[in-house]
A and B are shown apart, each in its own frame.
Chain A
Amino acid sequence: MPVLELREITKVFPGVIANERVSLELEKGEIVALLGENGAGKTTLMNVVYGLLSADGGEILMDGEPAKIKSPRQAIDHGIGMVHQHFMLVEPLTVTENIVLGREPGRLGVIDFKIARERVIEISQRYGLKIDPDARIEDLSVGMQQRVEILKALFQGARVLILDEPTAVLTPQEVRELFGVVRSLVDEGLSVVFITHKLEEVMAVADRIVVMRDGRVVGETRPEDTDEIGLARMMVGRDVVLRVEKPVSTCGDTVLEVSDLHADDERGLEAVKGVSFSVCGGEVVAVAGVSGNGQTELVDCIVGLRRPTGGTMHLKGKDITHASARSSIEAGVSHIPEDRHRRGLVLEFDLAENLILGDHRTPPYSTRGLLHPKAVTTMARKRIDDYDVRTPSEKVIASNLSGGNQQKLVVAREIGRDPELLVAAQPTRGLDVGAIEFVHRQILDERAEGKAVLLVSLELEEVLSLADRILVMYEGRIVREFTADEADEETLGYYMTGGGGVKLDDDARQAGPIESGGDA
């Protein structure tokens, strides 16, 4: 008997049928990968299971018994846990506080923090999820935060764990660790639903693969019966090129020239320690590195969101060292930020409004301080069409788009502006294979038109398939530079983790993976 069974779940949003009679079964100890294009309805389905959304039809069964799940509380009581696409952690609180929230041990309303802490340590040891129970969430890396999310679900007694795009924000190393954790969970008898867009991950962890398209289940298969190309075809309904061809291109004039750049992070510590490089027209330069090695600060400086503490930057010979975000846009810099929610979109604005951010002062969208709604709408419809943003209309507010479609919207705006320099940080985060192919083509088109592209990505495959030159960044410095055909994943990974002189990854791991040095 399946632990979890969904029968004909239907969920309708204004103008969209997000789920149409979706049925799904999950056996004990099984890992099911849920696969599908952006906007296929995966998150919606899981939100229904977790009680965050109420279905318009269908039923949910746990252990064969109909389960009424109208709120997360009831889902938790049924043993369902969920790690959300966008994390649900309270940043200023500690790991322990976050994990026990809602089920605090203690008497008469007084929390027994000693017991709470012990239980957190106990669970973390049992499943091999090492963590410092006293660290504050805001001080943890994304990978560690995800651990806290998983621990939270386990603490609440989850038997079914839903992971919504858990690997989108992780480094390859963290992804491997996560897979280890997931396997130890199913060994303990848990069942896992795993949503992802990365086909190689699906092949690596899934027992069974369910594919959704347009709100319906369109197929089911097993890793041993298919391959990545087959999966991609099932998902998108056509053949997908997983690695786009990169024609040769010639280097034009220097577009971006960065020399001896220094910058601090939020805490005032030096994050960029003297970086120099240039990008010429018709060239894609990629910055590869494990997150937190200064890439974010470097990008912020280039797009005018952060004051450098030293060094200079020139765009086509013009000094932009102290340019504001506005003048940097006017100088022809476009920016796809790594965090679409915090920096890429105004979630409460509609799609058309989001699409003209940054261009809202320029004709034909506005003249003399007045917007021209017609021009804006025309442009918005075209961009939404060109970039295949799945939405009923341009009047929908951005927060109602699926994660991947939000990303497409940002990409549409930034590339659509036709910049001199495109600074793209994690441009394909959360996109499905079809959309990735499309965005990669757009980036290469920019290159073919003689524009400069600076790509920052944790995805080595993306870096290798797009870049003409690759700069490896480690602890605020560029430690190595490769041309496209010199590099492979292994060498890049080695230098990204401080190999070749500074520190070996394995040494760090033997010292214990606890990140913040607590006394767990």
Chain B
Amino acid sequence: MLGDIITPDLFASAFRMATPLALAAIGGTICERSGVVNIALEGIMLTGAFFGTAAVLATGSPWFGVLMAMVAGVVISAIHAFASVNLKADQVVSGTAINLLALGVTGFLMERWYGHPGTTDPIKTLGPILRLTAEGGGFLGEVWRWVNGIFLTHTPIVYITVLIAIFAQWAIYNTRWGLRLRAMGEHPRAVDTVGVNVYRGRWVAVLMSGALAGLAGANLTIEQVGSFTENMTNGRGFIALAANIFGRWTALGSYGASLLFGLADGLQIKLQILRDVIRIPPQFFLMLPYVLTVVVLAGVIGRAVAPAAVGEPYEKKG
């Protein structure tokens, strides 16, 4: 029984499921570190997913689709940047507006361009980079089967995400950009008084989160599902926000938290086979990742300390 649940495939699926969450979560980390709350991750991801798919449908090139998904993410996040940095609007309101906008625009364009709601035609996807055979017997053969199964069966963006997480972590703590980013979210006026442009820094951070969330959308459609369905992000943007908090506003922490949520998601699917044994509705299993989110946020991590100035528009003096 347990052997059916704990398989290499379970952990491989954890990495797969974690990827869109982690990308958006790292985007959230960068954005919030600069002092801007980004609850628009959900909508940005959806936008990226849609335009990525549309680009692949139009050109047949999955990589071009990935690029367009990121461009779309950047474009829609520019609205958030303008509203929260320049107009000093409430960042939660602006983010909510973008989420609604993304839902509406993608649904509308779906009908306009493809003539029907629901799901697009299937698109050409990006497959696993490596296709190694998992043969060989004995203990070594078994180890190889696990290593290959867990780590070596993935699509490109899954690996790119790991690299992004490591690089972002390093950059936030070791580069000029990172130091200014961290300072900006804590005490923007202090950053201003040493001659660094807070508005520009926040713009860049919001756009970066847009690119990352767009890439998350591309991963969903161009690597995982192979088509676009309305509202297919299905709350992942919000779980990503939770992952960012759980990861204490760090890139690697965000990745780790996403991996945990990914594992919960994978487990949930595996546990469906238990349905015949213990009779509980399948929705209970579906709830698993969300329950985990709530439990984690409410209790396990204790009090997480957000950047001090997060959510506060910065106003220069007259």
Query: Which of A's residues lie within 8 Å of B, judged by CB?
Result: 13, 47, 50, 52-54, 71-77, 82, 84, 88-93, 97-98, 100-104, 106, 109-111, 113, 152, 156
Contacts and interface: CB of A to CB of B under 8 A. Distances in A.
B187 interface: yes
Contact of A53 (B179, B192, B317): B317
Given A91-B186, A106-B176, A111-B179, A101 B191 contact: yes
B183 A101 contact: yes
B176 A93 contact: no
Nearest to B305: A92
B132 interface: no
10 contacts: A53-B318, A72-B193, A88-B187, A88-B193, A90-B190, A91-B186, A93-B182, A100-B179, A102-B180, A109-B177
Given A91-B308, A106-B176, A109-B177, A72 B186 contact: no
Contacts of B1: none
A89 B187 CA distance: 7
Contact of A109 (B175, B183, B189, B318): B175
A50 B196 CA distance: 14
B195 interface: yes
B84 to A, nearest CB: 18
A72 B194 contact: yes
Interface string B190-226: 1111111000000000000000000000000000000
A156 to B, nearest CB: 7
Interface of B: 174-177, 179-180, 182-183, 186-187, 189-196, 308, 317-318
A152 B194 contact: yes
B174 A90 contact: no
Contact of A101 (B180, B308, B318): B180
Nearest to A44: B317
Given A101-B183, A109-B175, A111-B174, A76 B308 contact: no
Contacts of A47: 317
Contacts of B193: 50, 52, 72, 82, 84, 88
Contacts of A82: 193
A161 to B, nearest CB: 14
Given A109-B175, A111-B179, A102 B194 contact: yes
Contacts of B176: 104, 106, 109-111
B189 to A, nearest CB: 6
Nearest to B183: A90
Contacts of B192: 52, 72
Given A52-B192, A98-B190, A101-B179, 17 more contacts: A13-B318, A47-B317, A72-B192, A72-B194, A76-B195, A82-B193, A84-B193, A90-B182, A91-B186, A93-B183, A98-B183, A102-B196, A104-B176, A104-B179, A110-B174, A111-B175, A111-B179
B195 A73 contact: yes
B196 A101 contact: yes
Contacts of B190: 88-90, 98, 101
Contact of A52 (B175, B182, B317): B317
B310 to A, nearest CB: 13
A299 B308 CA distance: 26
Given A109-B176, A111-B176, A90 B195 contact: no
A88 B186 CA distance: 11
Contacts of A90: 182-183, 186-187, 190-191
